[in-house]
Amino acid sequence: MKSVLYLDHNATTAVKPSVADAVTEAMGVVGNASSVHGPGRAVRRIIENARDKIAVAVNARPERVIFTASGTEANNMALQNRTGERVLVSAVEHPSVRNVVDHDVITVDGQGRAKVDGLSEKLLELDKPALVSVMLANNETGVIQPVKDIVRIAKSSGAMVHCDAVQGFGKMDVNMVDLGVDMLTLSAHKIGGPQGVGALVLAPGVEIKPLIKGGGQEHRLRAGTENVPGIAGFGEAAALAARELAEFAKLARLRDQLEEEIYRIAGIKAYGKDALRIVNTSYLSMPGVSAETQTMAFDLEGIAVSSGSACSSGKVETSHVLKAMGVPDAGASSAVRVSLGWTTTQQDIERFTSVWKSIYNRLGQQQNSARDLAEAV
């Protein structure tokens, strides 16, 4: 395993050492946070400390941070149970936003940015209050969405805004007050925290109904015994991520170097390159080589990359993100996502581009010449 180069940090990233310590320590503390005895109170303190750290990291109020089991659950919580509201969702959202309720689509431009033009008219046409859901940064392209512009327009027509910040958090500044959103989704395992914990953060005054009912945990908004070690790790990871943002920003140099090299080899530009992007993500097509073939070839060379997002199916589907951006099928079916993380080094980039080149020369060229041949006939 040691020699495998992991470049799939947007799927999940290794838990940072101090986070692992926080998780391990919390696993050694016995108690249910709802119990009133000493151990119960000790566990309660662990949870509230973590909640404070997350609130500070996104500039929200601690009592408005609701812990969930995942970003998916937080997104569902934000969008479900909103009876009577019209919902508008950008075309490039994560399935846990897109698949939840009937909605109108906010289209994106060729760079994958949600189109702000016409949104105001669309909102004014609606006879009901509306909820707009736009992600902070896209998980496949890394493109940063014009959330503040959307908030401004939404507010002027009285609409609420939910923002899935799962991929943005830890990779760029996330300030809930500055963004002006009403609801914000976070996930621990994308920022070096443990899998199995997320949060929905609410602006003051925003009300929401629970998805999971039972005990009175999380201000009655999310029943179930709290995942204490997970929450402890999430708190530590959030504090670290906020502190290490400048360090993370340095990945831009490595990512740019990678993209320049690919451009030099094959004249290929990353999807969304002309938009603002988070610094670690590069979504690249290799002409003539399917994403499946590429990921297999990279795997044989000990490099872990992914064809779009890591979800359930195992079946290879063309990316809805690229489709929304108007990328032709040939491009979309040969797109592979490279996402760097806190463990990525200069040598890793050199290794990746050299393997990319050899796969391209071996498979890309062949297919091209075969096609040229076919066209010549």
Partner 1 sequence: MGAEMKLNENRTSSFGLSDMESPASKAPAIYLDYQATTPTDPRVVDVMLPFFSEKFGNPHSTAHVYGWQASDAVEAARAEIAGLIGAEPREIVFTSGATESNNLAVKGLAGFYGDEKNHIITVKSEHKCVLETCRMLERDGFDVSYITPDENGLIKADDVAELIQERTLLVSVMAVNNEIGVIQPIAEIGALCREKGVFFHSDCAQAFGKIPLDVKVMNIDLMSISAHKAYGPMGIGALYVRRRPRVRLKPLFDGGGQERGMRSGTLPAPLVVGFGEAARIAGEVMQPENARFEKLQQLFLSTLDETGVDYNINGDMKHRFSGNLNLSFAGVNGETLMASLHGLALSSGSACTSAAVEPSYVLKSIGLSDDLAAASVRIGFGRFSKDDEIVRAAKEIGSVAMKLQHAGE
Residues marked active site are found at: 311
For residue 363, what are its two tokens?
A: 């498979």
Q: Cα–Cα distance between 123 and 377 in angstroms, integer?
A: 54
For residue 307, what are its two tokens?
A: 């064809």
CB nearer to partner 1: give 168 or 230: 230
CB nearer to partner 1: give 11 or 176: 11
CB nearer to partner 1: give 119 or 236: 236
CB nearer to partner 1: give 68 or 353: 68
Given the structure tokens 């929304």, which residue do they identify?
324
For residue 254, what are its two tokens?
A: 């490595």
- 177 near 59, Cβ under 8 Å? yes
- At its nearest, how many Å lie between partner 1 and the CB of residue 5? 10
Q: How many CB atoms lie within 10 A of CB 205?
A: 7
Given the structure tokens 């003539």, which residue do they identify?
288
- At its nearest, how many Å lie between partner 1 and the CB of residue 238? 16
- 201 near 221, Cβ under 8 Å? no
Residue 6 burial by Cβ neighbours in a 10 Å radius (0-12, 13-18, 19+): buried
- At its nearest, how many Å lie between partner 1 and the CB of residue 364? 18
Q: Containing H/E element for 249?
A: helix 245-249
- At its nearest, how many Å lie between partner 1 and the CB of residue 181? 20
CB nearer to partner 1: give 151 or 333: 333
- At its nearest, how many Å lie between partner 1 and the CB of residue 263? 24
- The two beta strands, 130-133 and 160-164, are parallel
Q: Cα–Cα distance between 371 and 363 in angstroms, integer?
A: 12
- At its nearest, how many Å lie between partner 1 and the CB of residue 195? 4
Under DSSP, is residue 137 helix (H, G, I), strand (E, B) or coil?
A: strand
Beta-ladder partners of 137 = 144
Residue 170 burial by Cβ neighbours in a 10 Å radius (0-12, 13-18, 19+): buried
CB nearer to partner 1: give 23 or 340: 23
